[in-house]
Amino acid sequence: MKRAANSRPLYYSLESKHMSQTVSDDFDISDRQFQLFRDLIYKSAGISLSDAKRQLVKSRLGKRLRHHGLKSFGDYYDLIMSNTAEVTALVNSITTNKTDFFREEHHFEFVANQIVPRFVAAASQGMPRRIRVWHAGCSSGEEPYTMAITLLEAMDGKGSWDIKLLATDIDTDVLAAAERGVYDADRASTIPNAMLRKYFLRRQDGENAFYKVKPVLRDLVKFKKINLTDDIWPIRSDVQFDIVFCRNVVIYFDKPTQQKLFAGFARVLKPEGHLFIGHSESLLGVSTAYESIGHTIYRLPDAGLARIAA
């Protein structure tokens, strides 16, 4: 089947919105214009861009200029100032969304082998059979779907459980892809075959195979746009999470923003809840509210909330 040139692919491909981009020299960006966009991006998304990111800004925002038929970055900035809806497109263009199924697999092994047995033991003592997980910066959905698979597999044969995953991102494009839950064969290649057959439906799009998440998996995950730098997150005040994943997100934030973010996570984590961050990230010099377990896994002690700065 031949697809029309402008139609949307049925699946989420490795040729995602940034991986296939080439640097454009069609537009020049002045020092002042670059600083204006840096300030706007920081204010809108908390992303701190160094001078070294000038070419990245030029390349990615150049697509927005061509989309609107504009001739300069000054014209594009004026458009944003008169049309705040374009800020969403700006943020979507700048954010990077590299992820895979079972990425940093040791995190999911820890959940299955260490955290789940504690849930089961607590349930045997009368505690609620309920698990709440937040994936902050979920990108195109591979991480929360991997967690859903991990929990379903680990809980198999251990009774009925109330499992809910909140998956959030600031990028509305990747959230839409995550909600569709459809991935091409390359994207799905890191999923073990038995799990792929169990939790995904295989479909054919011309010569290309793709895989769609089954309802048993999809129904566990709620996708929502949340800007992590907002002072108040749109999360119910009575909700506390057993697990928070925020991996490869804070590397784009400056230290004050990181400090604010991890203090916020401590407020929504249950005592003795777990925080998972990316392999290149650390809480050293950022937060003392958590105990390090190793391998970028942290635990909030019972007294953790009392140590959070007001």
Degrees to nearest 5, angle at CA 301 with 296 and 302: 160
The CATH code belonging to domain 105-179+214-307 is 3.40.50.150
Question: Measuring CA to CA, which residue among 145, 57, 64, 59 is closest to residue 100?
Answer: 145
The CATH code belonging to domain 31-94 is 1.10.155.10
Active-site residue identified among 60, 64, 132, 187: 60
Residue 60 known to be catalytic: yes
pLDDT of 87 higher than 90: no
In this predicted structure, which of 56-65, 228-237, 241-250, 296-305 has the lowest mean pLDDT?
Answer: 296-305
Q: What residues are paired with 245 via a beta bridge?
A: 135, 276
pLDDT of 46 higher than 90: no
What pLDDT, on the 0 to 100 scale, is given for residue 21? 38
Share of the chain above pLDDT 90, in %: 53
pLDDT of 12 higher than 80: no
173-221 pLDDT, tens per residue? 899 999 999 999 999 999 999 999 999 999 987 888 999 999 999 999 9
What pLDDT, on the 0 to 100 scale, is given for residue 217? 96
Domain layout of the chain by residue ranges = 31-94, 105-179+214-307
Strands 162-169 and 130-136: parallel
pLDDT of 136 higher than 60: yes
pLDDT of 11 higher than 60: no
Active-site residue identified among 100, 132, 169, 187: 169
Q: What residues are paired with 132 via a beta bridge?
A: 164
Question: Measuring CA to CA, which residue among 253, 262, 258 is closest to residue 290?
Answer: 262
Residue 26 known to be catalytic: no
* Contact predicate 251/196, CB 8 Å: no
Length, in residues, of the chain = 310
pLDDT of 250 higher than 50: yes
pLDDT of 240 higher than 50: yes
Degrees to nearest 5, angle at CA 99 with 95 and 100: 165
What pLDDT, on the 0 to 100 scale, is given for residue 26? 62
Residue owning tokens 């990316």: 278
Question: Measuring CA to CA, which residue among 309, 298, 249, 293 is closest to residue 273?
Answer: 298
